[in-house]
């Protein structure tokens, strides 16, 4: 922002200046003055900001990001500046979500191959033609010429390179005993020379011989300006000295060790780690790629025009880079695969891979596995990291098809076709489910190791993939029809064709010419080992029968609830609602209460975490209609050696259907002998003034480490009072800290984490715990609350009167668990994730108000952009829950409300409150009482501007040293108003009167109102012509102040899955259409209207029935990418 002469600076927080129970009246009275002084004055004295009972939440922003005046605006130049600041090379451990978010892509992909083993130049030209037809699947930089990436992977052109070697007197280069490395070298000559030196040194160390270097001929004139600025020096290294798999592994190790050496040099030679890149180094395959448009790949690489460049197969790929700056190395294909889609579970995949590395060994590496680590790199794209893992598994001897099936498994539960055709594969998936979490997300993958060539689709089938086989035994695969042009225009040549369904794959053997379709591939893989025998020792734990009697007295329950941080509304509106209905409670969307870091009241740690959700290129999925592909199954126990698995000893001991455990389920887990589960109390000394929580956390981590080192495969973290003394460590902090500590000591895959927690009672809480490493959660206090609620006189009376169904105490607990399970699926679906195992440990959250100490202690890799609380402040805030509920005398009789969900006098502040509404009504003279005036509006404006901060944007102030623009240079008010648009609020979310009044008002000023989803009354398309002198109309009798010529139509109209009143007339009446792909407030489910709000009028507009709840599903996956939307 500083580069455009205006700077947005962060002002000191006003969260401390909020009226709270127990605060002095003087603080409450000075609320407005303090807020104005602190929240509106940039650069104010932050030390003078009143702290909130020692928490200093008000200083969270200034402590970690200073509010400083912006520098003078720098003039724009022609220099291309990287949008991503330089980072140190990744060396292992927990990965950084912010870094991961920079690298995503969605693309077009396919291949051409001869099953007869024929090598022709036509294979290359056909592939380049198909690639050229996929230009719309990619994207370009601002110069409209630098592609996000395009390239091919094919057989090494032995004939062409052999001629070159003969011409240059290079001896010893021959197919079978030689390999070729395609190398991107830095533009800097010294760095380029160093890169070559490092690679040669690594090659020689492996006992191989560097036969020579070849400069790859290119035509730089076809490269876009921005791509040219970062274009590498491209050379090929020719290597000899080994054969077969030995050659492949030696070249792999040489490449990995050279990459590590470059990373270690990066501090001395900045940029060498990123700019020295080996595209491929193999005796079978080679990649030609770059930051190019599809059409110029063949023009840029002159080799591809040489008729002696012959290949048996060719994979082609066009990249659409999302959320990233395109780079030459990130163009595809990678070394093993090309990927169209996005891996939604990437952070979890990378963290678990970092955890498993220490245990991943195989005899073929002869004890040198450490030299291959880290396997993944968060600085690379999701596709590049999947490629790294798949490549290692294949190089370690795992079959290609098996590798792809265990990394990207299909939905094998409740699958009638699978059960009828290849049921044995279910045991294969069961075996690997506990060892390797799925790389989940929209994915069409084409892959080859030079001997096998194949294509696989993800479990959802969200990317199209078609294949054709011709009479001359050529196989063609493409992500869409039409890219193959004249290759197969003669239909009689096509002897077989098909489309890959969800989770399906095909594979061609390039050596034998065998071509296998999905069922054949699955059977070959599933019968390679006796997975059924290996699974006999695994316990598939059934759900236990929950207790029918309470375990605490009513007073003990209230004391536990108060200490854990429950508010009265948490119990009545969330827990009791779930226990009674088996579903999550619903109410109006939006949250106008202050963010926890801005609030003057204590909050649970979970509240500081916000769930991320799917973007346009990886749409949210539907947990109701796509339930077949979703699963909450998870395993408990040690994960074995993924590189060299050995029967039953390498898989977890227990499998459970749901991560939500009853108390009795925990007892069953503890009773599994092979699991050796151990309870570890999570408490600390709350009497210590400072450092008490840190000491308790350190002791907890050491106790968990000791238990795992002693052979326990399941650590049960507990805050149940009978197992420890002192204050409970917040469960989310305990889980995250133990999770990351076990990663750091190399023990994380040796044991699972289960948590017995009082504080977790909602779906968000459980999702946080699972997201930060817990395999299962026992919300023991929430379950106890449901038990006592069911036995309360209130519920007994409601059942007797027929107001509630007659259900047992066990039923209420089952309902509560069912609601948590359904909520978890909904949360997974927001990110387009199907499997809980892929969400587990994925840390798909952003933190607001969490400081570096807390992040480092328990949430490494999470994004916390503004800083915030430390451990001592968290301890103080947590202690306030109990103190705020302490009775003046006697026993506790109830827990207090905090007003988080509804405006309550004297409780939490809400941005939309009665006082502000009344002032606004007076300002606009609502009701025609003659109260409207400039003074009335000034009072409203003062109240609005001086209100307490509720969101981060309330802390922003524009700082500028520019002189005001002359008013005659500014557009007229009427012109500016033409660009005004309202938010998309459906009729039902707001009243009919409000919806129509907004539309009429915005139309009067020339702007555009938004219908929201839900259809629109055709009457609103007709201008009003019956308004009388008093502003009344028989057409709209519920509105006032109307004029003839007014129109209530919405110029912007929303389409959500073609439902809810989306008729031809509705569409034709729009000036602008909005297609809802994933709704920010409720992604994965769209709008939701409770049945009681579906009146006969609204039902008629939505083509529904009055009283029936309405939930709009996300649109079908064919609207799932930018190019689809543009079409």
Residue positions annotated with a catalytic role: 107
SS3 716: strand
With H, G, I as helix, E, B as strand and everything else as coil, classify residue 502.
coil
**Which residue shows structure tokens 């989803």?**
1013
Instruction: Tell which residue, 601, 608, 612, 546, has the closest CA to residue 569.
Output: 601
Which residue's entry shows tokens 């400069």?
215
Give the position of tokens 């004029």.
Answer: 1043
CB 640 within 8 A of CB 355: no
User: Which tokens belong to 531?
Assistant: 């997975």
Nearest to 580 by CA among 900, 814, 782, 821: 814
CB-based burial label for 126 (10 Å; 0-12, 13-18, 19+): buried
Beta-bridge mates of residue 722: none
Instruction: Give the C-alpha separation, 494 to 92, whole Å.
Output: 49
Cis omega before residue 333 (within 30°)? Answer: yes
Going by C-beta distance under 8 Å and a sequence separation of 6 or more, which residues neighbour residue 517? 498, 506
Instruction: Kindly state the greatest CA–CA separation across the chain.
Output: 100
Residue from 294, 287, 281 nearest 329 by CA: 287
DSSP secondary structure letters along 63-127:
HHS---PPPPPPPP-S----SS---PPP-SSSPPHHHHTT-EEEEEEEEEEETT---BHHHHHHH
The Cα angle at residue 1115 between residues 607 and 1099, in degrees rounded to 5: 90
Give the pairing type, strands 313-322 and 150-155. antiparallel
Q: Is the dihedral of CA 127, 130, 132, 134 positive or negative?
A: negative
From the number of C-beta atoms within 10 Å of its C-beta (0-12, 13-18, 19+), residue 1064 rates as: exposed
Rounded Cα–Cα distance for residues 444 and 456 (Å): 6
The set of residues, in sequence order, having a beta carbon less than 8 Å from that of 498 and lying 6+ positions away, is: 466, 467, 517
Contact 986, 1013 (CB under 8 A): yes
Residue of 570, 581, 541, 550 lying closest to 811 (CA atoms)? 581
Is the CB of residue 338 less than 8 Å from the CB of residue 315?
yes
Closest by Cα among 1076, 964, 944 to 1010: 1076
SS3 content of the chain, % helix, strand, coil (to 5): 40, 15, 45
User: In this structure, what token pair is assigned to residue 32?
Assistant: 């407005």
Q: Are 1054 and 1047 in contact (CB under 8 A)?
A: no
CA-CA distance, 981 to 590, in Å (whole number)?
Answer: 19
Of 287, 1079, 268, residue with least CA distance to 277: 287
Residues 885, 924 contacting (CB under 8 angstroms): no
- For tokens 């006796």, the residue is 530
Q: Which residues contact 320 (CB under 8 A, 6 or more apart)?
A: 105, 106, 107, 108, 137, 138, 139, 148, 617, 1121, 1122, 1123
Comparing CA positions, the residue from 824, 819, 731, 744 lying closest to residue 772 is: 731
């Amino acid at each position: 922002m500083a580069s455009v002469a205006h700077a947005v600076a962060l002002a000191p927080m006003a969260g401390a200046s909020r009226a709270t129970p127990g605060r002095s009246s003087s603080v409450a009275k000075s609320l407005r003055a303090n807020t104005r002084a602190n929240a509106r004055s940039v650069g104010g004295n932050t030390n003078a900001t009143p702290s909130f009972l020692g928490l200093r939440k008000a200083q969270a922003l200034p402590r970690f990001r200073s509010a400083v005046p912006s520098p003078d605006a720098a003039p724009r130049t022609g220099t291309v500046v990287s949008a991503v600041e330089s980072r140190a090379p990744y060396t292992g451990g927990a990965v950084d979500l912010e870094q991961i978010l920079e690298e995503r892509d969605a693309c077009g992909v396919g291949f051409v191959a001869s099953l007869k083993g024929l090598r022709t130049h036509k294979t290359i030209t056909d592939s380049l033609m198909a690639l050229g037809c996929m230009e719309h699947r990619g994207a370009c930089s601002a110069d409209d010429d630098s592609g996000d990436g395009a390239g091919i992977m094919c057989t090494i052109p032995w004939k062409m390179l052999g001629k070159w070697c003969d011409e240059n007197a290079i001896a010893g280069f021959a197919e079978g005993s030689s390999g070729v490395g395609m190398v991107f070298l830095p533009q800097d000559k010294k760095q380029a020379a160093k890169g070559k030196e490092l690679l040669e040194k690594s090659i020689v160390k492996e006992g191989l011989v560097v036969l020579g270097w070849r400069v790859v001929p290119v035509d730089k004139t076809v490269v876009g300006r921005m791509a040219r600025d970062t274009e590498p020096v491209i050379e090929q290294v020719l290597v000899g000295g080994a054969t077969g798999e030995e050659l492949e592994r030696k070249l792999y190790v040489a490449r990995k060790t050279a990459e590590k050496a470059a990373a270690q040099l990066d501090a001395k030679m900045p940029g060498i780690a990123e700019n020295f890149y080996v595209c491929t180094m193999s005796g079978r395959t080679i990649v030609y790629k770059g930051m190019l448009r599809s059409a110029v790949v063949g023009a840029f690489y002159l080799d591809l025009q040489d008729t002696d460049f012959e290949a048996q197969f060719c994979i082609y790929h066009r990249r659409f880079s999302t959320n990233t700056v395109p780079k030459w190395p990130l163009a595809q294909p990678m070394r093993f695969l090309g990927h169209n889609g996005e891996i939604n579970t990437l952070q979890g995949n990378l963290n678990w891979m970092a955890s498993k590395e220490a245990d991943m060994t195989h005899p073929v590496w002869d004890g040198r596995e450490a030299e291959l680590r880290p396997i993944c790199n968060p600085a690379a794209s999701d596709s590049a990291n999947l490629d790294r893992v798949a490549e290692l598994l294949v190089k370690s001897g795992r079959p290609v098809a098996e590798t792809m099936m265990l990394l990207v498994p299909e939905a094998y539960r409740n699958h009638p076709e699978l059960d009828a055709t290849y049921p044995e594969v279910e045991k294969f998936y069961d075996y690997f489910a506990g060892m390797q979490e799925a790389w989940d997300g929209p994915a069409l993958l084409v892959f080859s190791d030079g001997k096998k060539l194949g294509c696989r689709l993800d479990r959802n089938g969200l990317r199209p993939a078609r294949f054709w086989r011709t009479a001359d035994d050529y196989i063609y695969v493409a992500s869409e029809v039409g890219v193959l042009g004249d290759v197969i225009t003669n239909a009689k040549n096509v002897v077989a064709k098909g489309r890959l369904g969800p989770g399906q794959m095909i594979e061609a053997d390039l050596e034998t010419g065998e071509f296998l379709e999905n069922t054949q591939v699955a059977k070959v893989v599933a019968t390679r080992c006796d997975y059924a025998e290996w699974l006999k020792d695994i316990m598939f734990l059934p759900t236990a029968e929950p207790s029918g009697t309470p375990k605490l007295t009513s007073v003990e329950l209230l004391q536990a609830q108060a200490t854990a941080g429950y508010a009265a509304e948490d119990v009545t509106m969330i827990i009791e609602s779930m226990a009674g209905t088996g579903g999550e409670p619903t109410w109006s969307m939006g949250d106008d209460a202050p963010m926890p870091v801005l609030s003057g009241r204590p909050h649970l740690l979970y509240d500081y975490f916000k769930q991320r959700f799917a973007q346009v290129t990886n749409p949210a999925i539907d947990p109701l209609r796509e339930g077949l592909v979703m699963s909450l199954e998870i395993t408990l126990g040690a994960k074995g050696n993924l590189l060299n698995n050995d029967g039953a000893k390498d898989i977890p001991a227990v499998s459970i259907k749901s991560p939500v455990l009853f108390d009795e389920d925990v007892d069953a887990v503890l009773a599994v002998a092979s699991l050796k589960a151990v309870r570890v109390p999570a408490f600390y000394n709350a009497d210590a003034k400072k450092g008490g929580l840190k000491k308790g956390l350190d002791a907890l981590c050491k106790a968990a480490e000791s238990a795992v080192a002693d052979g326990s495969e399941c650590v049960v973290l507990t805050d149940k009072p009978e197992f420890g003394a002192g204050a409970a460590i917040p469960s989310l902090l305990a889980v995250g800290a133990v999770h990351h500590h076990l990663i750091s000591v190399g023990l994380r895959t040796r044991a699972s984490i289960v948590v017995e927690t009082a504080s977790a009672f909602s779906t968000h809480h459980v999702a946080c715990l699972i997201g930060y490493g817990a395999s299962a959660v026992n919300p023991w206090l929430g379950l106890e609350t449901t038990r006592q609620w069911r036995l309360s006189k209130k519920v007994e009376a409601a059942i007797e009167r027929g107001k509630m169904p007659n259900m047992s105490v066990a039923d209420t607990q089952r309902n509560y668990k069912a609601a948590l399970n359904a909520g978890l699926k909904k949360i997974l679906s927001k990110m387009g994730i199907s499997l809980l195992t892929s969400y587990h440990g994925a840390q798909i959250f952003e933190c607001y108000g969490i400081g570096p100490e807390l992040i480092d202690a328990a949430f490494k890799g999470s994004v916390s952009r503004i800083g915030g609380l430390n451990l001592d402040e968290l301890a103080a805030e947590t202690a306030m829950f109990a103190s705020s509920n302490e009775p003046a005398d006697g026993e506790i009789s109830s827990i207090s409300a905090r007003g988080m969900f509804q405006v309550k006098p004297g409780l939490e502040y809400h941005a939309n409150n009665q006082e502000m509404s009344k002032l606004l009504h007076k300002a606009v003279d609502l009701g025609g009482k003659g109260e409207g005036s400039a003074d009335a509006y000034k009072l409203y404006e003062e109240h609005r501007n001086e209100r307490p901060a509720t969101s981060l944007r309330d802390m922003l102030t524009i700082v500028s040293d520019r002189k005001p623009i002359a008013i005659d240079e500014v557009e007229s008010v009427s012109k500016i108003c033409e660009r005004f648009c309202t938010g998309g609020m459906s009729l039902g979310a707001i009243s009919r009167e409000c919806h129509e009044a907004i539309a009429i008002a915005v139309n009067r000023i020339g702007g555009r109102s938004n219908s929201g989803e839900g259809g629109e009354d055709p009457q609103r398309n007709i201008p009003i012509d019956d308004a009388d002198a008093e502003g009344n109309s028989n057409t709209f009798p519920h509105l006032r102040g109307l004029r003839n010529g007014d129109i209530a139509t919405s110029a912007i109209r929303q389409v959500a899955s073609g439902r809810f009143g989306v008729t031809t007339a509705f569409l034709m009446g729009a000036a602008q259409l909005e297609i809802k792909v994933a709704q920010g407030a409720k992604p994965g489910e769209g709008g939701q209207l409770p049945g009681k709000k579906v009146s006969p009028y609204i039902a008629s507009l939505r083509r529904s029935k009055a009283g029936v709840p309405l939930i709009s599903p996300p649109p079908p996956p064919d609207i799932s990418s930018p190019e689809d939307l543009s079409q």
